Structure 1
């Protein structure tokens, strides 16, 4: 099912509906499909199109963490926390702060785990 959804969403790229929400939705499907690197590209494009999209920052951090890019994930989460706080999206900021703490702890311990688990 995810593959069909990805194909449908990709057909919309470059068209009048191409925006942050489309890129976010596509990234989410790539995450479900087990391709965090491809998902990260989509989330990067989503936040490029809407820098205040805190949900996209959160999933960008997750996708980067899932693909082993810890430093980039931390940077994405930190930017996402700033954006979420500026928007008043307190829950998203709290969640990302938890993910940052988990990633830092994992880096200190040297264990590869999913910070959003």
Structure 2
């Protein structure tokens, strides 16, 4: 679904994890990271165990030039992924976290 349709659903009070995750993901796909972030933050507030939402939030925060917040999102995502048995997602977020910790240059 496109962002317009999803935003209309949200404005009608249909607020839930999947809607927020879908909106955040669509905005990330469109490289509109500042619009994605609040939706992804809402998604992880609905379910802090949703590793994919944490991963996407970390990506959006990184792209928005907010590395400290991205680090925190990846750390939370790693915990969520490991708790849920999502080993590959945890591995991927560790790689993204290491990239953030590398000195620029």
What TM-score, normalized by structure 1, do the two folds share? 0.84
Alpha-carbon distance between aligned partners in 1 of 2:30 and 2:80, rounded to the nearest angstrom? 27
- Which residue in 2 is equivalent to 1:62? 59
Q: Deviations over 1:53-84 (max 9, x none)?
A: 10000000000000000000000000000011
1:9 aligns with 2:6: yes
Paired residue for 2:20?
23
What stretches of structure 2 of length at least 5 have no aligned partner?
A: none
- Aligned residue pairs, count: 105
Please show how residues 80-95 of structure 1 align to structure 2 within 5 Å: 80-95=77-92
Structure 1: tracts of 5 or more residues without a match: 112-117
TM-score normalised by length of structure 2: 0.93
Q: Distance in 1 between matches of 2:23 and 2:60?
A: 12
